[in-house]
């Protein structure tokens, strides 16, 4: 039964961009560690200034990323968030609020760190995501 659950999680997170091109074994290792989270619209998933605790992958739905009072971007299925504070140890850089019902898969800080040190592919993919985000925020 556990095997079936892992297969299901694998399917749910199959479209997450940072997991594309990851060797199957690395995807399986991640699928074993994530927990599904279902949130309603307007739910505050993380709050700017709080300490970071989880990393999130979006399987379904959309969320607004808000800095101060400004919506800086909208994240959707296949995207990730919560990586910045876990990587730096600094507080959450933005507030993330669901704008539709969402299906998320979360990894706690410890597991996120472990997965990253074991998966060079994931580390590369996250660097790319971060570089893009940084570039976009420099542009505006």
- Which residues are at the interface with ligand CMP (CB under 6 A)? 46, 52, 65, 72-73, 81-85, 92-94, 96, 133, 136-137
Distance of closest approach, residue 108 Cβ to ligand CMP, in angstroms? 13
| Minimum CB–partner distance for residue 71 and ligand CMP (Å) | 11
Closer of 73 and 108 to ligand CMP (Cβ): 73
Count CB neighbours of 55 within 10 A: 25
Query: In this structure, are residues 82 and 54 in contact, taking their beta carbons and an 8 Å threshold?
Result: yes
| Ramachandran class of 42: left when φ > 0, alpha when ψ lies in -120 to 50, beta otherwise | left
The CB-of-129 to ligand CMP minimum distance in angstroms stands at 8
Query: Which CB, 46 or 122, lies closer to ligand CMP?
Result: 46
For helices 24-33 and 2-12, give the axis angle rounded to 10 degrees.
110
């Amino acid at each position: 039964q556990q095997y079936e659950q892992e297969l299901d999680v694998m399917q749910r997170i199959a479209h997450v961009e940072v997991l594309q091109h990851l060797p199957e074994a690395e995807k399986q290792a991640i699928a074993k560690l994530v927990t599904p989270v279902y949130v309603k619209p307007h739910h505050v998933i993380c709050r700017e200034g709080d300490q970071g605790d989880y990393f999130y992958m979006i399987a379904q739905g959309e969320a607004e990323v808000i800095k101060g009072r400004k919506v800086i971007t909208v994240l959707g299925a296949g995207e990730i968030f919560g990586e910045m504070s876990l990587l730096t140890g600094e507080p959450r850089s933005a507030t993330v609020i669901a704008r539709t019902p969402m299906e998320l898969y979360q990894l706690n800080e410890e597991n996120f760190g472990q997965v990253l040190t074991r998966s060079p592919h994931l580390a590369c993919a996250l660097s790319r995501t971060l570089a893009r985000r940084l570039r976009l925020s420099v542009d505006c």
